[in-house]
Structure 1
């Protein structure tokens, strides 16, 4: 597992100790160091992501990435306590990527509704991780990132001042489809076990949808998620 993978996983699960645990995480992030190169994708176009195929019930198999199982309310409570922002928004890929050691893509957020934490402005840029490295899938990585086929998403924006990630603010994301948030191993959300009969968007060539489909999806009503986000 690379330093970046460890950094991502520590950030996503700050632990029940709240602010004290976050201090430990930030110290670890400061030790990580290094600035990965940023390159422009060859075909940025409109920034619209590819739409992955439909998962079947047979795809619910072995887990992806050893994500911790944390109830949603506790998970979001930890994010609020740490100083992260919980948002609903529409995301558009900018075409910029970080290729090493774990592929990440830059996303611009529009129509932002900040449910908790510091306000995130329309047009804010964030980075979403994938489960791939420059040579292919990363063993032991989580299932990456997925969002709605029209760009609709729910997520936690972690500011750079907390992560010290050299790429910038990072987004832990889940798709919003209609009036549901689709949780899965993509983003290391708890839940899963159900097939999802519809497309979702992913970073080009990431394979994140197929990886998340191995453990299935957990649709949760959007109103329920709003209440959990606000605490």
Structure 2
């Protein structure tokens, strides 16, 4: 497997009062992970399209927008206009999956599909030909700072076996140690929130995460 390792720090763990300087601290990352929560699909509310758009104006790194919302079909265009490069939504949402993927693609963006820890991979496999990325949640979505669930790794392995080329992202509890487990299973895109933003030197942490993942691949 030669899938490029990509580190995608989650701004959910950043200091919202200083978002511009926080984005500068992670300028060496491959992607910026933007967690969007509606208080309905998950029991938490985060940021929306206006904040995403404001961040995009001061950041050149591609935006990996993760919609943890009930009706992503209704909001895909807002986030496309706000500067999302990849729009990832959940197979468990209320919107029609195929319709939502097609909408994202019609907006000229890459489509990603996410599954919660208990959701079988069948929910994503049938759409792999249209997707740029699959996100396997390694915690229950909704809150940062949770512990990595190694029990989700067989899903990563199974998806990687079916499609050797697709980006497989993992989100939740990723740090310098757990990233090795996920990379060995076949993941190549890693969302890290607390591990990066709570560190003294985010750039150094990003470099360590990247190296650990590459070594484990």
Specify the TM-score bucket, using the shorter chain as the normaliser: under 0.3
TM-score calculated relative to the size of structure 2: 0.27
> Which has the larger share of strand?
1
Q: 1 or 2 for the larger relative contact order (CA 8 Å, sep ≥6)?
A: 1
TM-score calculated relative to the size of structure 1: 0.26
